[in-house]
């Protein structure tokens, strides 16, 4: 979630117009990543939940998609000009 939020003001706000679209676009990848870590850690939820590498992978996936959405928006704006 954090890559989709802007904390620069008094209140947090979404960086993207539709955050659920971002999650729909990457939901399969997030699940596959989480399952891969679960297999690696012997299906131990406690170990997976404490894995910094797992959280970093999930974060990077969301951040990458957020950047893709931002680039698409900028391209659409450039075409309009």
Host domain of residue 45 = 2-80
CA distance 15 to 38: 30
- Reported as a pLDDT band with limits 50, 70 and 90, residue 1 is confident
* pTM > 0.95: no
Interval 12-58: pLDDT, tens: 999 998 999 999 999 999 999 999 999 999 999 999 999 999 999 99
Interval 21-34: pLDDT, tens: 999 999 999 999 99
Domain count, the chain: 1
């Amino acid at each position: 979630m954090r890559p989709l939020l802007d904390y620069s003001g008094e209140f947090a706000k979404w960086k993207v117009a539709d955050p659920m679209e971002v999650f729909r676009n990457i939901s399969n990848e997030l699940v596959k990543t989480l399952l891969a870590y679960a297999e690696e850690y012997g299906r131990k939820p406690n170990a997976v939940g404490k894995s910094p590498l797992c959280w970093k992978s999930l974060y990077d996936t969301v951040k990458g998609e957020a950047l893709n959405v931002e680039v698409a928006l900028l391209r659409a704006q450039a075409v309009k000009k």
